[in-house]
Amino acid sequence: MAGPTTSAQRSRAPRGGLMTTLVFGKTGQVAHQLLSLDNMLCLSRLDADLANPAACRKKILEIRPKAVINAAAYTAVDKAEEEEALAEIVNSDAPKEMASACKELNIPFVHISTDYVFDGAGSKPNSPEGATLPSGAYGRTKLKGEINIRNSGAYYAILRTSWVFSAQGKNFVKTMLRSVNKHDTLEVVTDQIGGPTSARSIAQTCDRITKVLLKTDSKSGIYHFCGTPSISRADFAREIFRQAKKPTIVTAIKTSHYPTLAKRPLNSRLNCISLKTSFDISQPDWRDDLTIVLRDLGEINS
């Protein structure tokens, strides 16, 4: 496996013309939050379509940013079972070309990945070094993307996260709130356990990692980041309704009683210790982030 560029090599590399971080993604949950940070240039699908990996590489070489964050992906988990070839282009081939361009420019590459690279077995938090065994097309294509980045020779940070939520896009929080208007009682799975993670916290973490990697390439690797404490989907729903003061009753069911095309991991717990050690980034309390999101959605008063 090719190793990252050394510090000596990086110091000799020409700097990009723009002192900006180039972000792939503009309307997604994390990309939307990155837009609010300083010196971020976010690209929409019209600017750079991940279904055309070569165009992504070309865009990086044209703009010559100081760093690249990939916040775009094929995330339709169930649809990926029927469109795995397309999902692989977006989730595997495009990051490969991005990493290659970053290697050529000698700039850091931060890439967002997922807990779906694990099989979801057991009850212990998955560590970055743990064995990966994705059970579906989405996880397989994301894992292939990780491998391509690691083999690129670029210096990088792969950030695996889980249960992303925000006031934008499609996510569990918004799904639960929409369901309130239709049902007084909701059935929600209780055997899927994980750490809900706000897009806002992920964006801030990506920004911080990027700034550290601009100073040193010695921290290249795979890291985990998610909210704390771990909780079931059913209890997550209960907290959403508690904060939003909704009377909806949540009835717990097993995942086996709610079949989906793609298998969901039962254990989405992530061990985030190495992120704290390397970047001094702690896990956020997702309940506090949930309050912010509910305020943004107008569900609770400021």
Catalytic positions: 138
Please report the pLDDT score of residue 205 as a whole number: 98
Q: How many whole angstroms separate alpha carbon 39 and alpha carbon 63? A: 13
pLDDT above 50 (res 13): no
Q: Pairing relation of β-strands 231-232 and 193-194?
A: antiparallel
Taking the C-alpha atoms of residue 164 and residue 206, their distance in angstroms, rounded to an integer, is 14
pLDDT above 60: residue 118: yes
The continuous run of DSSP H or E covering 145 comes out as: helix 137-150
Averaged pLDDT for residues 182-207:
96
Cβ atoms 177, 244 nearer than 8 A = yes
Judge whether 246 and 147 are in contact, CB under 8 Å.
no
- pLDDT-derived band at 10 (thresholds 50, 70, 90) equals very low
Across the range 9-27, mean pLDDT stands at: 66
pLDDT tops 80 at residue 144: yes
Average pLDDT value for residue range 98-107: 98
**Cα 208 from chain centroid?**
15
Q: What is the pLDDT of residue 18?
A: 55
DSSP string, 71-115: ------TTGGGT-HHHHHIIIIIHHHHHHHHHHHHT--EEEEEEG
Mean pLDDT of the chain: 93
Beta bridge partners of 34: none
